[in-house]
A and B are shown apart, each in its own frame.
Chain A
Amino acid sequence: MIRNYDKLIFELSKEGRTGYSLPKNVFKENYCPCQLPGNLKRESKPLLPEVTEFDVVRHYTNLSNKNFGVDTGFYPLGSCTMKYNPRLNEEISALPSFAALHPEAPVEATQGALEVYYNLAASLAEISGLAAFTLNPYAGAHGELTGLMIMRSYHEQRGDTKRTKVIVPDSAHGTNPASAAVCGLEIVEVKSTANGTVDVEDLKPLLDDTIAGIMMTNPNTLGIFETEIPEIARLVHECGGLLYYDGANLNAVLGKCRPGDMGFDIMHINLHKTFSTPHGGGGPGDGPVGVRAGLEALLPNPQVKKDAGGKFYIDADEKSAGYVSNFLGNFGVLLRAYTYILTLGRENVKMVGPLAVLNANYVKESLKNEYYLPIEGVCKHEFVFDGLADKSTGVTTLDIAKRLLDYGYHAPTIYFPLLFHQSIMIEPTETESKETLDEFIAVMKKVATEAIENPDVVKNAPHSTPVRRLDETTAARSPKTTYRQLKGER
């Protein structure tokens, strides 16, 4: 039984087994690291597995069977945009003509790669309505940090050193305040209205000459479009601040409206959400950052530019906010995103947002009798239920999430946003068919029925997964994070 495979790679180890093949060492006679002075060499032996290539293949294939990806089934994880990751992206990113490039190769030898970078940046600028993009940041959080560095540099270079605070909506994801703190900014929270949008009246008194800017998503975390954004932009600009757009929810409006046109000055995009690059179990992604005209010089170094003759080159601007990465970002991820944009083309980019929004509204309206919908009306790409409509049997959001696993679905995002106690945040994305959505809706209804008729089966779910609910308390009280610790050493 595949499901019962529970070995660690270390437990397959047999002394002397190997799985590699290397060329013959023709230098051995004369040169060997054993010639290094004794005190520079390691004394202990690393306890690495000794296994064959076949052992490795079988082990990790078995591990993969204990995992759930978008390729496995529907993955309505709110705020994460788990859309299909086309295989062509993978093929292109593995092309040796790109994969074998060293970052220090002369630009004459990397014109193709620089063209990819330059044109992808230009495509993102067009799609988002901003002037220029860096593709250097590695992830969404990293993009946020980079964007805030640009914000601070903008004020500082104008000699305006008082602006040390950034406004963050109380509904925002924890990354926003965390990024602001890493950037040395103080956080000021602005309240939400009953429907989760920024309370403009609460915002007004916060705006003074200590405000560097505001961080927002639009649509917000509840999937609600901030219709007052033009007014918010006017107010923030008037007080001298900048608007930062967290691209977490860009998929909702992709092709339909652009952050630049909404009045945002700086933004990041998650290529691994909106532009179909795989999440990879938590990375690598890429978090390009865009700016409006006038802020281009502040983008992180190195910067890719094109000269009058059409030749690409790498530059470092002294006004730049700094260096945030080893080189030009996760280049392999850039190739995937560029492939996606070319595959969609100008005509299909316009369909992404509308289809994602249609799918979300379809699921929302189909389930709002069984689940409590705190905010009525048209949502964007995602929406939030506040638990079951009937909570009398004590079945919680966690129980529902776990029960969905039994039915072969990944759970939605749960207990976020914090505005509600039993949040279930559902984002179907545009790549799911009506049939898939209908099956999911049927299962969600079934779970709601089970919650009333047989609550214990839901409360004790999951039942059919490779492992069941875990003891997270012991894991946190006495952490065992390595094989040695597991064996009781160290």
Chain B
Amino acid sequence: MSTILEGLRYAESHEYVKVEGEYGYVGITDYAQHELGNVVYVDMPEVDDEVTAGEDFGAVESVKAASDLISPVSGVVVEVKEALNDSPELVNSDPYANWIIKVKLNDPAEADALMDAAAYKAFINE
């Protein structure tokens, strides 16, 4: 049911990271946006903030729930998806196009420890 893209890496807390060179694009999966329902607000860090794998860097809010955003990778935020400030619903409509933060990775190989598409698919079907 949920869309899972090949080539991305997935965390058990339902964030993905798309690694391109020394950068990683972090967002929430289609499964996560569906579970959360209508997103009304995305609490994002600021550029230059550090993120650490396993620690939260923000939150996604729906009407009556809030879910912490746990970073799957470590590094420094170089860009945040400004469009989400005015249109948080983009996370619902296309969570993969609408990544939340772009991170300059400390170690691009760090993402290898995360699940690949097949493993994540198995994980959410369990």
Decide if B75 is an interface residue (CB 8 Å cutoff). Answer: no
Residue in chain A with minimal CB distance to B61: A476
Which chain A residues border B89 with CB–CB below 8 Å? 477
Residue in chain B with minimal CB distance to A473: B38
Decide if B40 is an interface residue (CB 8 Å cutoff). Answer: yes
Which chain A residues border B38 with CB–CB below 8 Å? 473, 477
A476 to B60, CA, bound (A): 13
Which chain A residues border B41 with CB–CB below 8 Å? 476-477
Output the least CB separation between B68 and chain A (Å): 14
Within 8 A of B (CB), among A446-490: 472-473, 476-477
- A: interface residue count bin: under 10
A477 to B40, CA, bound (A): 5
Output the least CB separation between A200 and chain B (Å): 30
Residue in chain A with minimal CB distance to B38: A473
Which chain B residues border A476 with CB–CB below 8 Å? 40-41, 61, 63
A415 to B40, CA, bound (A): 20
Which chain B residues border A477 with CB–CB below 8 Å? 38, 40-41, 88-89
Output the least CB separation between B61 and chain A (Å): 8
Output the least CB separation between B90 and chain A (Å): 11
Output the least CB separation between B97 and chain A (Å): 19
Which chain A residues border B61 with CB–CB below 8 Å? 476
Which chain A residues border B64 with CB–CB below 8 Å? 415, 472
Contact with A along B50-86 (1 / 0, CB 8 A): 0000000000010110000000000000000000000
Within 8 A of B (CB), among A408-456: 415
Residue in chain A with minimal CB distance to B63: A472
A472 to B39, CA, bound (A): 11
Which chain B residues border A472 with CB–CB below 8 Å? 63-64
Residue in chain B with minimal CB distance to A415: B64
Contact with B along A268-312 (1 / 0, CB 8 A): 000000000000000000000000000000000000000000000
Which chain A residues border B63 with CB–CB below 8 Å? 472-473, 476
Output the least CB separation between A190 and chain B (Å): 21
A476 to B88, CA, bound (A): 11
Name the residue among B63, B64, B88 with the largest chain A CB count within 10 angstroms: B63
Output the least CB separation between B110 and chain A (Å): 28
Could you list 15 examples of A-B contacts with CB < 8 Å? A415-B64, A472-B63, A472-B64, A473-B38, A473-B40, A473-B63, A476-B40, A476-B41, A476-B61, A476-B63, A477-B38, A477-B40, A477-B41, A477-B88, A477-B89
Binding site for A on B (CB under 8 A): 38, 40-41, 61, 63-64, 88-89
The 8 closest A-B pairs by CB, nearest first: A476-B40, A473-B38, A472-B63, A477-B40, A476-B63, A473-B63, A473-B40, A477-B88
